[in-house]
Amino acid sequence: MKNNTKLINYYKSLIKKDSNPNHIKYYNNMIYQILNPQKKEKQEWKTIYVGSLDKVFKSCRKASEALGRDKNYVYKVLKGKVQNKHNIEQIKNNDVL
């Protein structure tokens, strides 16, 4: 909280010194963001099942590397850009095989 008050005082001092309305609007916005932080939502991990290897991976990249393909191969398969030869499926995190 101590660092936040320093930042707020810094932006207030910039508001006093500056006469450009766009800058003042930016400084006020920064003060608002400091006082009202937004909580970031946690991103769910994509759990990938590869049928040909009969193995579960925690990321598309790891699954692609295990198949010996480029790092975006599994992502492309899931999006339907590449044919699904290895029986690749995306499963929910609570579904464990």
Give the per-residue pLDDT at 57: 92
Rounded to an integer, the average pLDDT of 45-60 is: 89
**Residues 81, 55 share a domain:** yes
Residue 94 has pLDDT above 60, yes or no: no
Burial bucket for residue 45 (CB in 10 Å: 0-12, 13-18, 19+): exposed
Residues 51 and 21 placed together within one structural domain of the fold = no
- Average pLDDT of the residues of the chain: 87
Verify that 87 and 57 share a domain, yes or no: yes
Residue 97 lies in a domain: no
Q: Which residues form the domain of 11?
A: 2-35
pLDDT of residue 1: 54
Same domain, 81 and 55: yes
Is 20 part of any domain?
yes
Token pair belonging to 94: 């609570």
Number of domains in the chain: 2
What does the pLDDT read at residue 93?
59
For residue 6, being part of any structural domain is answered with: yes
Tokens standing for residue 63: 């699954």
Shared domain for 51 and 75, answered yes or no, is yes
What integer pLDDT is reported at residue 14 of this predicted model? 95
Q: How would you write 31-77 as a 3-class SS string? A: HHHHHCCCCCCCCCCCEEEECCCCEEECCHHHHHHHHCCCCCHHHHH
Q: Are residues 27 and 52 in the same domain?
A: no
pLDDT per position as a tens digit, 25-50: 999 999 999 998 888 777 677 789 99
pTM for the whole thing?
0.52
DSSP code, position 20: -
Residue 66: per-residue pLDDT: 93
User: 42 lies in a domain?
Assistant: no
